[in-house]
């Protein structure tokens, strides 16, 4: 009934695809769609009404056991899942010897100075030894399955690039490579080998933990699903952290991911046009693209995360501005429609943060911001998955489609706390040098993971592939076979690179056994009949082409105007690019706009005209015309896409239940956290009396509310809009509107 209500709320009977679209929405909304994570029990002030809750940590505490925490959410109608860290957590019983009688603090990640990298008191970042994994499975996987949890999220499999000096790591090195440990700071090869081992250790850790979980679940008659909440490969590479990332897409025991992208990751500065600065929207767009690429060819589940605040102490205006940027960026991937709507609601609703950038005064979340945030996260409960229809803005982001940047896990292998053998890649500029010159011109570049090039669906819609081995290396020669075949069948590669960095000489497949290449690109070129030491120029292979530029991509962004030749070559390879300063997308009834600053084409606002409700406005403002300025984003409900014969909720700072349309009128129940203010925008056909409203709480007592209409309506739609404002309750507020 809930699914039917949603479908008929927004679409006329028989319109926009009729039964096909109904079946599509039925499929989408039947899934587990929205979730959040918390270590605490249910509280009225954090009852955000997502489909799911991820209860964090399996340990009991003095006030409440794990099962009691889980039950507190289940009793309020939530499906409970489990989440904990794989690389750190409240595992003091292991490190202090309570589990097996031996201290294991030597299994913490250590720097060259011998310092343990801590996540908290007696909480080191962990080297996932087999002994630790035995403990982890026994104490943190088995108990949650015994508690009836059938979905496990093991987050942040992280090994710091600056680590790699503990005795436990040296033992793992000897076992993995068969020769004694080498200090990573002494050479590029040692750095590469050290980071490659870190990557292997967490791949092994997740595989063992997930395999155990699924096997133990089967013994109990349960189907256990396993997910990895993880930062993007882009962020980990920039923050110098190693993680398995894209390789998990082929891990049989892994069912999917949460893309941990938020202001804290996306505000990391990068270079463009010679300037280093925060570019939150652009970085978030690329981070989400990086994550979407990991599961695109495999069909595994992906939740996108945003956070209304972030880990670092900022002010509420900073949080709000950047939340809107990251929120818009995630919605510009219409093929992803599952979301972690927020982490840690306790700190969002109950935390104290600065009221402004120039003030030391701290306060709880402003009412207007909690109202806006709840409007935004409620839209995610209904956000449709929109397969591309090929038209700009209708199912696909506006702009020249089909240009993709190649990435590999080995981006993380070349990262170190200080330059090794002179290699330097400031702020990961060898990646951003290929992506930002196009993104800043309004080209929605995608990401392709080299680990996925063997899947046919990887190449769907890719026309031009931008690649470089200046900041990463291929881990398998098989990838080159797939790349060459793609070019042979009509694909186009734009390859940028001097191929003279010290990581070209590491012990890897292209210079081992019968291979004697001094750079991996030489092997790829040889497969396509291109000179191994190809000079800058254009080369044909089969139906496709390869353009070679003998510049490292960082050169395109580290100086002003450095990207001109690169953009010209991409346009030659692709054809005429649609260069602009905006992105536009329609997703069902929702319209998204992002306007770019620093644009070399134009700096004008983006205008929209029609009938829209502003979903970034705490007042849910109606516009027949408005503009979005450069550097800003917009999120709107398009009133043209509603069924004008039915009463319906357009947007609300709450989740609605038990919607009923009867001969007497329209009724529903609103639920949202305590100490927050609701606003609801309704469309009511002319037979409804816009003053005949009843508002009562769960005990049936009247609740005060404010109602407003547009004083000077511009058309029939705006004349029938009604806004209601009242205080929220997790127990529900019952609204009845009579005919």
pLDDT in tens, 580-593: 999 999 999 999 99
pLDDT of residue 506: 95
User: By mean pLDDT, which of 34-38, 244-248, 514-518 is the weakest?
Assistant: 244-248
Is the dihedral angle over the CA atoms 225, 230, 233, 237 positive or is it negative?
negative
pLDDT of residue 390: 43
pLDDT over 80 at 15, yes or no? no
Please report the domains of the chain, with CATH numbers, ordered by start residue: 1-30 (no CATH), 403-574 (3.40.50), 582-636 (no CATH), 648-738 (2.60.40)
Tell me what percent of the chain is helix, strand and coil, each rounded to the nearest 5.
35, 25, 40
The residue behind tokens 């007497």 is 664
Cα–Cα–Cα angle for 620, 623, 625, rounded to 5 degrees: 150
pLDDT over 50 at 4, yes or no? no
Q: Which of 213, 214, 249, 212 lies closest to 228, judged by CA? A: 249
Average pLDDT of the residues in 212-235: 98
Mean pLDDT of the chain: 93
Q: What is the pLDDT of residues 305-363, one digit of tens each?
A: 999 999 999 999 999 999 999 999 999 999 999 999 999 999 999 999 999 999 999 99
User: By mean pLDDT, which of 18-22, 107-111, 669-673, 735-739 is the weakest?
Assistant: 18-22
Average pLDDT of the residues in 482-503: 98
Average pLDDT of the residues in 672-682: 98
User: How far is it, in rounded angstroms, from Cα 481 to Cα 478?
Assistant: 5
Cα–Cα–Cα angle for 237, 437, 635, rounded to 5 degrees: 85
User: How far is it, in rounded angstroms, from Cα 470 to Cα 29?
Assistant: 44
| DSSP-derived secondary structure for 447-500 | EEEGGGTTSGGGGTT--EEEE-SSS---S-THHHHHHHHHHHTT-EEEEE----
Residue 35 parent element (H or E): strand 34-38
pLDDT of residue 31: 64
pLDDT of residue 689: 82
Report residue 8's pLDDT band, with 50, 70 and 90 as the boundaries. very low
pLDDT over 50 at 17, yes or no? no
User: How far is it, in rounded angstroms, from Cα 90 to Cα 526?
Assistant: 52
The percent of residues in the chain predicted with pLDDT above 90, rounded, is 89
Q: Which of 137, 84, 132, 136 lies closest to 104, judged by CA? A: 132
Report residue 712's pLDDT band, with 50, 70 and 90 as the boundaries. confident
Q: What is the pLDDT of residues 724-737, one digit of tens each?
A: 999 999 999 999 99
Q: What is the pLDDT of residues 592-607, one digit of tens each?
A: 999 999 998 889 999 9
User: How far is it, in rounded angstroms, from Cα 671 to Cα 662?
Assistant: 22
User: By mean pLDDT, which of 5-19, 166-180, 468-482 is the weakest?
Assistant: 5-19
Average pLDDT of the residues in 624-651: 97
Q: Which has more pLDDT, 237 or 713?
A: 237
The residue behind tokens 């509280």 is 43
Q: Which has more pLDDT, 25 or 404?
A: 404
Bridge partners (DSSP) listed for residue 685: none
This prediction's pTM: 0.94
The residue behind tokens 């750095």 is 191
Cα–Cα–Cα angle for 224, 257, 468, rounded to 5 degrees: 145
């Amino acid at each position: 009934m809930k699914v039917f209500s949603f479908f008929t709320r927004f679409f006329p009977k028989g319109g926009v695809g009729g039964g096909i679209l109904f079946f599509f929405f039925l499929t989408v909304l039947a899934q587990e769609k929205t979730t959040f994570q918390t270590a605490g029990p249910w509280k009225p002030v954090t009852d955000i009404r997502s489909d799911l809750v991820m209860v964090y940590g399996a340990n009991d505490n003095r006030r409440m056991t794990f099962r009691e925490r889980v039950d507190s959410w289940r009793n309020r109608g939530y499906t409970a899942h489990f989440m904990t860290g794989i690389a750190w957590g409240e595992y003091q019983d292991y490190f202090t010897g309570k589990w097996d009688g031996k201290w294991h603090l030597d299994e913490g990640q250590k720097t060259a100075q011998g310092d343990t990298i801590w996540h908290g008191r007696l909480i080191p970042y962990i080297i996932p030894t087999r002994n630790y994994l035995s403990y982890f499975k026994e104490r943190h996987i088995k108990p949650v399955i015994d508690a009836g949890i059938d979905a496990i999220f093991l987050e942040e499999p992280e090994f710091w690039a600056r680590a790699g000096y503990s005795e436990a790591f040296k033992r793992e090195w000897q076992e993995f490579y068969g020769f004694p440990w080498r200090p990573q700071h002494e050479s590029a090869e040692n750095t590469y080998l050290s980071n490659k081992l870190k990557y292997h250790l967490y791949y092994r850790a997740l595989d063992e933990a997930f395999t155990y979980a699924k096997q133990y679940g089967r013994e109990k008659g349960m189907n256990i699903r396993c997910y990895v909440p993880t930062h993007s490969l882009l962020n980990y590479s920039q923050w110098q952290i190693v993680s398995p990332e894209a390789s998990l897409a082929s891990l049989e025991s892994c069912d999917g991911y949460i893309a941990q992208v938020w202001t804290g990751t996306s505000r990391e500065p990068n270079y463009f046009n010679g300037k280093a600065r925060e570019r939150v929207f652009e970085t978030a767009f690329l981070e989400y693209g990086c994550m979407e690429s990991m599961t695109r060819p495999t069909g595994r589940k992906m939740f996108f995360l945003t956070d209304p605040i972030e880990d670092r102490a900022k002010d509420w205006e900073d949080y709000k501005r950047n939340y809107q940027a990251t929120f818009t960026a995630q919605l510009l991937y219409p093929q992803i429609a599952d979301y972690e709507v927020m982490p840690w609601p306790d700190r969002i609703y109950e935390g104290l943060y600065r009221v402004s950038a120039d003030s030391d005064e701290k306060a709880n979340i402003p009412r207007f911001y909690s109202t806006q945030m709840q409007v935004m996260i409620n839209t995610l409960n209904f956000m449709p998955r929109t397969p591309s229809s090929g038209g700009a803005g209708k199912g696909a982001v506006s702009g020249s489609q089909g240009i993709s940047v190649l990435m590999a896990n080995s981006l993380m292998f070349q990262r170190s706390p200080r330059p090794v053998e002179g290699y330097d890649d400031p702020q990961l500029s060898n990646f951003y040098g290929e992506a930002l010159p196009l993104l800043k011109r309004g080209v929605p570049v995608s990401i392709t993971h080299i680990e996925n090039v063997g899947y046919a669906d990887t190449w769907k819609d890719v026309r031009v592939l931008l690649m470089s081995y200046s900041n990463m290396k291929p881990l398998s020669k098989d990838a080159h076979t797939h790349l060459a075949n793609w070019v042979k069948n009509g694909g186009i590669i734009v390859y940028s690179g001097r191929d003279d960095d010290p990581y070209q000489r590491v012990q890897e497949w292209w210079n081992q056994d019968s291979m004697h290449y001094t750079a991996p690109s030489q092997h790829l070129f040889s497969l396509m009949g291109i000179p191994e030491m190809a000079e800058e120029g254009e080369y044909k292979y089969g139906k496709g082409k390869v353009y070679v530029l003998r510049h490292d991509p960082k050169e395109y962004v580290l100086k002003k105007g450095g990207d001109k030749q690169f953009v010209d070559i991409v346009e030659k390879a692709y054809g005429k690019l649609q260069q602009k300063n905006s992105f536009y997308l329609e997703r069902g009834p929702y319209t998204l706009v992002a306007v770019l600053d620093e644009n070399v084409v134009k700096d004008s606002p983006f205008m929209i005209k029609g009938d829209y409700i502003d979903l970034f406005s705490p007042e849910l403002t109606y516009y027949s015309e408005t503009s979005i300025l450069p550097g800003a984003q917009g999120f709107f409900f398009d009133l043209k896409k509603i069924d004008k014969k039915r009463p319906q909720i357009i947007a609300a700072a709450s989740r609605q239940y038990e919607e009923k349309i009867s001969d007497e009128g329209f009724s529903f129940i609103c639920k949202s956290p305590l100490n927050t203010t609701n606003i609801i925008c309704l469309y009511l056909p002319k037979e409804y009396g816009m003053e005949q409203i009843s508002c009562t709480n769960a005990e049936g007592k009247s609740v005060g509310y404010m109602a407003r209409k547009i004083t000077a309506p511009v058309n029939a739609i705006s004349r029938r809009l009604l806004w209601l404002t009242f205080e929220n309750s997790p127990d529900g507020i019952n609204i009845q509107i009579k005919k």
